[in-house]
Amino acid sequence: MQNLTRTYEGKKVLITGGLGFIGSNLAHRLVELGSRVTIVDSLIPDYGGNLFNLSGIEGQLRINIADIRDKFGMLHLAQKQDYIFNLAGQVSHLDSVEDPITDLEINCRAQVNLLEACRRSNPTVKIVYASTRQVYGRPKYLPVDEDHPVEPVDPNGINKMAGEYYHLLYSRLYGLNACSLRLTNTYGPRMRVRDARQTFIGWWFRQIQEGDPIRVFGTGKQLRDLNYIEDVVDAFLLVASTPECVGHFFNLGAEAVTLHDLAELLVKANGTGKVEIVPFPEDRKNIDIGDFHGNYQKLKSFTGWQPRVMLADGLKRTIDYYRRYAEHYW
């Protein structure tokens, strides 16, 4: 593994979506590593941006509230950066079904504008795009590797896929140092837990803390894999500083777990709680992808990355965080 302090100390880093779950955790880590961090976030209600996420480091970075659809603003902000971690996005599958055009504007059109900005004013920047396992759609085999066909099952998946392909294309056509991480379920402190719009697991953290039963949809036997936020932050830092990663996309991933087992693990980590198996809600049935877990061997072979935080430990640390800071997330 690389010496990340040597890589990032004193470097200028832009994080789009930096008030969100992953972006803010990345910001905490980069401030620790001595980077000069600029955050861009639109604070669109319900998208996940939360000023409390930067609590304790507000004075050590620059927070710029702006929408990545703001072309000229982004042109300015993208200049003179050494690294861009590009995490801004609309991430609710259900919202993308209701309003595909807004999803397209943010996840596809705004990405092209950002890449054009880099091409014109900062062509040597290193840029990592936060993509998603959602581009694969319903797995045809498990674990899903990078050769698996892409067949998104909702507008969000199509737009994220297009946004990712643009990053790789600009690396091929114009030599931008871009690569992409296809994230699976990420969990941990600073995630949005207000409702189930974005992730089921965030909502579960809230349910269990409020003493509500955890509701598992369907049979409970669906497989998922989850990465703890610290591991995901590591993945971003590693691919951005590994030149061989340019032009590639990489799965993250972890050991598979059934949703039922995951819910039971959560109850155990919490010390108390109840699990209920309930039928699939109508609006989610269409866009559910069945079983999923990702093969992360490509990322491992390029960077040495592998998940380090065990599920039981990660769940416990997350529960502790929300016990302490519930008021900022409820």
Q: Which residues bind a second copy (CB under 8 A)?
A: 97, 100-101, 104-105, 108-109, 112-113, 116, 147, 149-155, 158-159, 161-162, 165-166, 169, 172-173, 286-287
Q: Report in angstroms how near the CB of residue 67 gets to a second copy at its nearest.
A: 16
Beta strand pairing call for 214-217 and 275-278? parallel
Report d(CA 79, CA 72) in Å as an integer. Answer: 11
CB-nearer residue toward a second copy: 97 or 256: 97
Q: What radius of gyration, in Å, describes the C-alpha atoms of the chain? A: 19
Distance CA 179, CA 170 (A): 10
Q: How far is the CB of 137 from a second copy (least distance, A)?
A: 10
C-alpha–C-alpha distance, residues 129 and 122, integer Å: 16
CB of 162 to a second copy, least distance (A): 4
CB closer to a second copy, 74 vs 319: 74
Q: Which two tokens mark 318?
A: 């997350």
- 152 vs 253, which CB is nearer to a second copy? 152
Cβ distance to a second copy smaller for residue 67 or 151: 151
Smallest gap from residue 30 Cβ to a second copy (A) = 30
Minimum CB distance to a second copy, residue 125 (Å): 18
Q: Are strands 257-258 and 126-132 parallel, antiparallel or unpaired?
A: unpaired
SS3 178: strand
* Residue whose CB is less far from a second copy, 143 or 155: 155
Listed in sequence order, the residues at least 6 apart from 311 whose beta carbon sits closer than 8 Å to its beta carbon are 226, 228, 254, 255, 257, 262, 265
The count of C-alpha atoms lying within 13 angstroms of the C-alpha of 187, restricted to the half-sphere facing its C-beta, is 31
- CA pair distance 95, 154, nearest whole angstrom: 10
CB of 138 to a second copy, least distance (A): 10
The C-alpha atoms of residue 271 and residue 52 are separated, in whole angstroms, by: 27
Nearer to a second copy, 149 or 281 (CB): 149
Which residue, 39 or 245, is less far from a second copy as judged by CB?
A: 245
CA dist 118 and 91 (Å) reads: 23
Q: How far is the CB of 165 from a second copy (least distance, A)?
A: 5
Shortest separation between residue 76's beta carbon and a second copy, angstroms: 18
Taking the least distance from each CB to a second copy, the nearer of 27 and 117 is 117
Least Å from the CB of residue 100 to a second copy: 5
A 10 A CB-CB count for 83 gives 24
- What interhelical angle do 71-78 and 110-121 show, nearest 10? 40
Q: By C-beta, is 169 or 326 nearer to a second copy?
A: 169
d(CA 122, CA 322): 39
**Residues with Cβ within 8 Å of residue 131, at least 6 apart in sequence:** 160, 161, 163, 164, 180, 181, 182, 183, 249
Q: Residue 187: beta bridge partners?
A: 228
